[in-house]
Amino acid sequence: MEIVEKFMTNNPCYKAGRKIVVQGLMLHSVGCPQPSAESFIKRSNNPNEKRACVHAFIDGNTGKIFQTLPWDHRGWHGGGSSNNTHIGVEMCEPSIIKYIGGATFRYSDRQACMEVVKRTYDAAVELFAFLCMKFRLDPMKDGVIISHNEGHARGIATGHSDPEHLWNGLQSGYTMDGFRKDVAACLARAENQPPADKTIPKINPTVITEAISTVETVSTICPGVLVSLTNDAVYYNGKDIPSWIKSDRWIVKSVSGDRAVIDANESKTKAICSPVNIKHLQLVSATDTPVTPMDVQEISKPIVEKKDTSEQNPNAQKADYIRKQVSDNGVALVAKYEGCQLQAYRCPAGVWTIGYGHTQGVQPGQKLFSMEEARKLLKADLQKYADYVNEYVHNGTIQFALNQNQFDALTSFCYNCGKGNLKTLVAGRDAATVADKMLLYNKGGGKILAGLTRRREEEQKLFLS
């Protein structure tokens, strides 16, 4: 076990120097896809981080333990009275998980995720055994070793679900009861007593001191926070951002270096999934309820996407992409702008047609008995155009994740404008640019047509909802 002392000397919790009588240990996980402990240390070593200071981070890549506060200093990690009694330790999380709301996340490679989780779990077991020895704590005594989630259930911590949300979501088999038993076994081994069920190496901490000498300019932009855009903001590729985007506030989906992806707006009525340099983002959060990557608030079953590597390589082919179908909302949008006849007729090209332009197998004299029957035929016909959208997602032409409304809007667009125009619209663009450019396809014979303008506006509205 390697403990790197890297005290956050610029953090208000360190500067306050308040002491606690250590009565227990609280285990956390960070709640965002970031395995690097030092990235959190840089962010938190800041005079303005009044409500974010744990005693240690466990690095997901190496298993190293970075101690950020003296063990008996009062930190701010659990909220409530647990800050006065418990040492708080954060486990970093795999980079390839993607949070999609609250504690719900997707993951692309379970084995790779589990390598990180096992590494942090094993390090946490040794660290907690070491701390139990240091402060003469019984790991099996009620309330001594608890998770943030368990602290909330006891009324001594805020309403978070970590780390169980991560363990459960990955079906790891790890539990807090099992963790306490593993700590007890490790402690027994260290004290030369027979371990419970397994042989765990004796604790042998190596302590390295690394001082943080200066205040670094660190971004507080991280997944889950609400941001506004600066007036001079442009997309990450340098292209202009439409004014309607700049006038709203957005939730950050992911951060990689200086590249942040903003997605849903504050009111959750639009989703754009667009990359912006973090220098163009301004943090928006309430003073009493700051949004941090550690704010995991509910347990929800993850959506597993086994080989979705689009975040790392947008052009990667999605081998396991699940083919989408147009929804009834999408059908209704197309039907609104297409004429319908319940009796078969010859179109200008001489083809027998019925309903909303259905031609397959239509015979003279054929009739439909209801508009609902016509819509069912339209839905079946639309799947051809929906599959063009599926194709462009599958081969990487569309480089952002599509929700159902976006899928329906693009299907309607393709049905009206054709596969070639769809490719021109979406190729290499983010969602916000697609929505913006969609309105340009409103001409017939070189003239702007009111009907096409209304249709594009409605498709854009659906796309952004």
- 129-134 long-range contacts (CB < 8 A, ≥24 apart) are 129/183, 129/184, 129/186, 129/187, 129/190, 129/203, 130/1, 130/190, 130/203, 130/205, 131/22, 131/25, 131/71, 131/87, 132/25, 132/183, 132/187, 133/187, 133/190, 133/191, 133/203, 134/71
How far is residue 168's CA from residue 11's CA, in Å, rounded to a whole number? 32
Q: Count Cβ atoms below 10 Å from residue 427 Cβ, excluding itself.
A: 13
Cβ atoms of 316 and 310 closer than 8 Å: yes
User: Which residues share a beta bridge with 250?
Assistant: 227, 265
Does the active-site annotation cover 338?
yes
Show Cβ contacts of residue 217 under 8 Å, excluding neighbours closer than 6 positions: none
Cβ atoms of 143 and 9 closer than 8 Å: no
Q: Is the peptide bond before 163 cis (omega within 30 degrees of 0)?
A: yes
Tokens of 439: 């309105």
Q: What DSSP letter does each residue of 44-98 carry, written as one string?
A: HSSTT-TT-B-SEEE-TTT--EEE-S-TTB--BSS-GGGGGTEEEEEEP--TTEE
How far is residue 324's CA from residue 413's CA, in Å, rounded to a whole number? 16
Cβ atoms of 401 and 381 closer than 8 Å: no
Q: What are phi and psi of 355, to 5 degrees?
A: 65, -135
Q: What are phi and psi of 116, to 5 degrees?
A: -70, -45
Give the SS3 label for residue 249. strand
Nearest to 401 by CA among 292, 253, 298: 253
Give the SS3 label for residue 421. helix
How far is residue 308's CA from residue 344's CA, in Å, rounded to a whole number? 45
Tokens of 39: 């990235």
Tokens of 372: 């609902």
Cβ atoms of 315 and 328 closer than 8 Å: no
Rounded to 5 degrees, what angle do the CA atoms 185, 145, 224 make?
Answer: 120
- Per the rule left: phi > 0, alpha: psi between -120 and 50, beta: everything else, 17 is left
Which candidate in 2, 5, 266, 338 is catalytic?
Answer: 338
Residues annotated catalytic, as ranges? 338
